[in-house]
Structure 1
Amino acid sequence: MRRAPAALRNSAEEWGAVAKVLHWLLAALLAGQWGLGFYMSGLAEADLVLRFELYQLHKSVGLTLLLLVLLRLAWRVGGPVPGWPPGMPRWERRAASASHALLYVLMIGLPVTGFLMVSTSPLGLPTRFWGLFAVPHPLGPNATLERAFGNIHEKLGWAFAFLVLLHVAAALKHHFRDRDRVLVRMLPARFFR
């Protein structure tokens, strides 16, 4: 017996295919972006060509992530969101809602602060979006602002990493301890045929 294809839109019980694809695509891109940022910051100054190429990649991925996060947020706001499991304590619902909101703030704040950092760099290097066109920088060179945005960007990156670990731990807790469908309903359906 064949299963019906997953619904594109969310329901009150399940995440739809669009939400799942955006969730896992963002998760993969954000993990790669975090690792790339960490790697780039440790490169020696002598590797100028490699550093330039990796920074351009990091900026293109960052701007793409910003667009995908905004799309995901619009999708989430524009449709139903699956409800909480029965019996979930109110404090846990509030903590989950707050952590999801904070994840969105960080997923938007990271690319914005990164872009503001490079737009204020005294080096004045262009931001080439996937090598297709230059993205205009809204601010001019300013070493003080570059350092400030860089510090904020780095702190947001570490906060994001911590919050993602908390998010994963909560999903695993729901699956293994609470034995509810919180994790299962975000996984691709083919894992549970």
Structure 2
Amino acid sequence: MPPEGWSRAQRRLHGAIAVLVLAALAMAPVMVGLGYSQLLLKFLLYQAHKSVGLLVLLLAAALLALHAARGRPSPDPDLPAWQRLTARAMHAALFALLLAMPVLGYLTAASAPIAIPTFFFGLVPVPHLLAPDAARFAWLRGLHEWAGWSLALLLAGHAGMAIRHHLQGRATLRRMWRG
């Protein structure tokens, strides 16, 4: 039997992932747009962005494991079947992107033509398992950017639908906030 609500751990992981993804999305255009006259800031933002991405990967994997172990609450029975199906597909796409984005980012950094090291939150060196390759880097960077825009759109839709359901009097946000 599925649980009635989300556990405290599930809610906290969801919130942490949301904050981290928003931070990574906000950092991306700033770090890319900085000129080389601000090289130190550019380097620090890239390191922070990569660290946040790796942390999102770990937390998303933990949340998926927790969902598998504990289960997920049943969807609102008043929702039409097409909305339940759409919600399930959106959640699957969100998790796929939450796992793929950091991997694509890592592969992009690892294949960069200029071998710049990655340090997890400035402390732990993360080895690059790929050799520098300009063509692979360009392809992966484009894929990572495309996936980032896709993630941003899905997140906006996810949040928008949660607010819409709340305004319609459904318990969607209450279950997320209170379990």
Regarding TM over 0.5, the answer is yes
**1:124 partner SS:** coil
1:50-129, aligned counterparts within 5 Å? 50-129=41-120
Over residues 100-150 of structure 1, what are the superposed CA-to-partner deviations in whole Å (9 max), with x where a residue is unaligned? 000001111111111000100111011111222211111100000101110
Report which structure shows greater RCO (CA 8 Å, sep ≥6): 2
Partner letter of residue 180 of structure 1?
R
Number of residue pairs matched by the alignment: 179
SS in 1 for 2:23: helix
Aligned AA (1:184):
R
Q: Which residue of 2 aligns with 1:30?
A: 21
In structure 1, the residue corresponding to 2:75 is in which secondary structure? coil
Q: 1:153 aligns with which of 134, 144, 152?
A: 144
Q: SS in structure 2 opposite 1:149?
A: helix
After superposition, give the CA deviation of every residue in 1:140-193 in whole Å (9 maximum; x if it has no partner).
00000101110011011111110011001111121112x11111110147xxxx
Of 171, 175, 185, 2:175 maps to: 185
2 CA distance for matches of 1:35 and 1:139?
Answer: 27
How many angstroms does 1:45 deviate by? 2.3
> Which entry has the higher C-alpha Rg, 1 or 2?
1
Task: Identify unmatched segments of 5+ residues in structure 2.
Answer: none
Match in the other structure for 1:45: 36
Aligned-partner residue type, residue 160 of structure 1: L
Gaps of 5+ in 1: 1-10
Query: 1:87 Cα shift?
Result: 2.2
TM superposition shift of 1:73: 0.8
My pick for the range that moved more, 42-51 or 158-167, is 42-51
Task: Please identify which structure carries the higher helix content.
Answer: 2
Give 1:63 deviation, angstroms.
0.9
Q: Deviations over 1:28-77 (max 9, x none)?
A: 11101110112111111221111111111111111111111111111111
1:12 Cα deviation from its structure 2 partner: 2.1
Give 3-state SS (helix, strand or coil) of 1:82's partner.
coil
Root-mean-square deviation (Å): 1.4
Percent of aligned pairs sharing the same letter: 37
Who is 1:138 aligned against? 129
Task: Describe how 1:161-172 pairs up with structure 2 within 5 A.
Answer: 161-172=152-163
* TM-score using structure 1 length: 0.89
